[in-house]
Amino acid sequence: MKDLYLVGAEQKSQVMKDWEQFKKAVVLKLDGKTKEAERVIEYISPQEVCPAHEASISFTAASLKGDRLFACTQTEILVYNAFTHKLKDYYSLPLFNDVHHVKPRGNGNLLVVNTGLDMVVEINPAGRIVNLWNVMGEGPWSRFDPNIDYRRVPTTKPHLSHPNFVFELNDEIWVTRCLQKDAICLTDRTKRINIGRQLIHDGVVYNGKIYFTQVDGRIVIVNATTLKIERVVNLVEISKHQEKIGWCRGIKPISEELVLVGFSRIRPSSKKGKDGSTKYVGDFGVMPTRLSCFNIKSNMLVWEKNLEEYNFNVIYSIH
For position 201, what pLDDT does the model report?
Answer: 94
Which CATH number goes with the domain that contains 154?
Answer: 2.130.10.10
Mean pLDDT estimate for the chain: 93
Nearest-CA neighbor of 198 among 176, 173, 224, 227? 176
**Residue range of the domain that includes 139:** 4-318
Encode pLDDT of 33-59 as tens digits. 999 999 999 999 999 999 977 788 999
Residue 135 CA from chain centroid, whole number = 18
- pTM metric for this prediction: 0.92
For position 265, what pLDDT does the model report?
Answer: 87
Encode pLDDT of 118-175 as tens digits. 999 999 999 999 999 999 999 999 999 999 999 999 999 999 999 999 999 999 999 9
For position 16, what pLDDT does the model report?
Answer: 58
Encode pLDDT of 273-293 as tens digits. 667 665 555 555 579 999 999
Instruction: List phi, psi (to 5°) of 152.
Output: -95, 0
Mean pLDDT of 213-217: 95
Pairwise CA distance, residues 186 & 223, whole Å: 19
Whether pLDDT at 272 is above 70: no
Instruction: List phi, psi (to 5°) of 284.
Output: -70, -40
Nearest-CA neighbor of 45 among 34, 53, 56? 56
Pairwise CA distance, residues 137 & 120, whole Å: 11
Cβ pair 261, 294 in contact under 8 A: yes
Cβ pair 99, 115 in contact under 8 A: yes
pLDDT band at 13; cut points 50, 70, 90:
confident
Nearest-CA neighbor of 27 among 68, 60, 54? 60
Whether pLDDT at 15 is above 60: no
State the total domains in the chain: 1
Cβ pair 290, 34 in contact under 8 A: no
Total Cβ atoms within 10 A of residue 28: 21
Higher pLDDT among residues 242 and 270, named by residue: 242
Mean pLDDT of 167-187: 97
Encode pLDDT of 54-108 as tens digits. 788 999 999 999 999 999 999 999 999 999 999 999 999 999 999 999 999 999 9
Mean pLDDT of 199-221: 97
